[in-house]
Amino acid sequence: MKRVYGLVAISIFFVSCSPAQAPAPAAGASATKPYGSLAQVMRGIPFPNSNIIFDTQSTDPAAAQKPAEGTNASSQFSGVYGGWQAVENAAIALQETANLITIPGRKCDNGRDVPVNQDDFKKWAQGLQEAGAAAYKAAQSKNMDQMVEVSGTVADACAACHEKYRDKEDLKMRCIP
C-alpha cells in the first residue's frame, strides 16, 4: 500500500502542476524556451532511450521487467514502467526529442546556436521523429525481430546528424555546417 500512496501523491502533484493550469505566456512571448544545451538534451533523453531500443536486439523486454532491489527511487520504480512499455516510452522520447532539439535559442556546448534553420538539420530532426514513430510501432508489436530492424533505423537517424554536426575532432567546430 505504501507504494500506491506514493504514486497517488506523485500523480496529484503532477496534475496540480500541469501546463493546462499554468498561466498563458504574454502576448508575443514564445511558449517554448530551451533550458539545457543540445549536448545535455541528447545525453539526457535520446542517448539512454535509444539504448533501451538497441537493447531489444538481444534482450526480451518482457523477461527484463523484474524490479531492481534497493530503497532508492531508481530501484523502487524500476518495475513500474518496465518491459515493453519502457521500450514504447523510449520510442516516444525519441519523437519528442525531435521537437526539443528544434526549439530556437538552444545552444551547443561551444556556445554556438543549434543550426535549427539549416535544411539538413530540419530533415534529420524529422528523421529522428520518424525513427521514433517506427520504433513505437515495433515496440507495440512486441516482436524482437521488428525491433532489430528498427534499431538500424534509429541508428541511421542519429548518425545522419552526428556525422555533420557532432563528430568533429575539434569540439569548438560542433554545430557548424
pLDDT tens digit sequence for 60-113? 988 865 666 666 655 555 567 888 999 999 999 999 999 999 999 999 999 999
> What confidence tens digit (pLDDT) does each residue in 44-57 have?
999 999 999 999 99
The answer regarding whether domain 35-173 maps to CATH 1.20.120 reads yes
Confidence band (pLDDT; 50, 70, 90) for 165? confident
Give the per-residue pLDDT at 10: 39
- Residue predicted with more confidence, 7 or 54: 54
Q: What is the DSSP string of 101-164?
A: TTSTT-B-TTSPBP-TTSHHHHHHHHHHHHHHHHHHHHHHHT-HHHHHHHHHHHHHHHHHHIII
pLDDT > 70? residue 17: no
Tell me the helix, strand and coil percentages in the chain, rounded to 5.
60, 0, 40
